[in-house]
Amino acid sequence: MNNPVLRASGLRKNYRSGDATLEVLRGVDLAVAPGESVSIRGESGSGKSTLLNLLAGLDRPDAGELHWGAEATAQLTLGALTARRARFLGMVFQSYYLIPEIDALANVLMGARMLGAPGRAERERAAALLRRVGLADRAAHTPAHLSGGERQRVAVARALMNRPQLLLADEPTGNLDERTGDEVIRLLLEVCAEERTALVLVTHNATHAARTQRQLFLHQGQWR
């Protein structure tokens, strides 16, 4: 693959459990092309969330290498890694993680605040993203006045605020009913395609996984 947006080589991660060592990831390789959508499925405990945390730079592997574009994350200081993450990738989680005291528009703008005080261009971008996810008329509503599906759509807009090259989604439909979950996956895939943002989707839902361009299955810390 030429110039992948994400490249992981031989990722390993262990955790201590009493006197024992638990091997969670056992040499995982992954390359994702710009604009590509990839899904990852696996049984509970197979290492899916651990892998996503490593890909996001939220945790360090015990062995292996991770590149964001041409940049090796291991060579970045913690501060540089945090700054690079804010520009390079967005994340969508199962539990939304919206700030309850502020409205939908302000929540989307939180992505921009990681890069400095938002200006007019950032506010226009946030409003445009809310329109794209179908929430233009809900911009002034706080999360408490939004449905679960609406909250997740706000989270998708926030993740795309800084025009990331990569979006990581960890069970984004886990708290949603089937119909709403299907709508969120459709929206996520459509918006990422429009923005030319690569997507790595962790999901337990085989139907959702089948909608991505490439499907992977993790079993006991290795691809199956």
- Averaged pLDDT for residues 148-164: 95
Three-class secondary structure of residue 218 per DSSP: strand
What is the residue extent of each domain of the chain?
6-223
pLDDT of the residue at 114: 86
Q: pTM value?
A: 0.94
Contacts of 74 (CB under 8 A, 6+ apart): 60, 65, 66
- Residue 7's pLDDT band, with cuts at 50, 70 and 90, is very high
CA–CA distance from 53 to each of 35, 75, 113, 212 (Å)?
A: 20, 18, 22, 20
Q: How many CA atoms are closer than 13 Å to the CA of 195, on its beta-carbon side? A: 28
Say which range, 15-24, 87-96, 136-145, 191-200, has the weakest mean pLDDT.
15-24
CA–CA distance from 172 to each of 2, 86, 137, 146 (Å)?
A: 29, 20, 23, 16
**Cα separation, 151 vs 98, whole angstroms:** 8
pLDDT of the residue at 76: 93
Beta bridge partners of 30: 8
- Residue 18's pLDDT band, with cuts at 50, 70 and 90, is confident
- Residue 25's pLDDT band, with cuts at 50, 70 and 90, is very high
For the range 95-103, what are the long-range contacts, defined as Cβ-Cβ under 8 Å and sequence gap of 24 or more? 95/175, 96/143, 96/148, 96/151, 96/152, 96/154, 96/155, 96/175, 97/155, 98/143, 98/151, 98/154, 98/155, 98/158, 99/143, 100/142, 100/143, 100/144, 101/142, 102/142, 103/139, 103/140, 103/141, 103/142
CATH 1.10.3720.10 fits 6-223, yes or no: no
- Averaged pLDDT for residues 103-109: 96
DSSP state, residue 17: E
- Residue 116's pLDDT band, with cuts at 50, 70 and 90, is confident
Q: Within 10 Å of residue 154's Cβ, how many Cβ atoms?
A: 26
- Residue 16's pLDDT band, with cuts at 50, 70 and 90, is confident
Q: Take residue 186 and report the two structure tokens written for it.
A: 């459709």
pLDDT of the residue at 98: 96
Predicted confidence (pLDDT) per residue in 163-221, tens digit: 999 999 999 999 999 999 999 999 999 999 999 999 999 999 999 999 999 999 999 99
Per the prediction, the chain carries an average pLDDT of 95
Give the gyration radius of the chain's Cα atoms.
Answer: 17
> What phi and psi, each to the nearest 5 degrees, are found at residue 3?
50, 60
pLDDT of the residue at 89: 96
pLDDT of the residue at 140: 97
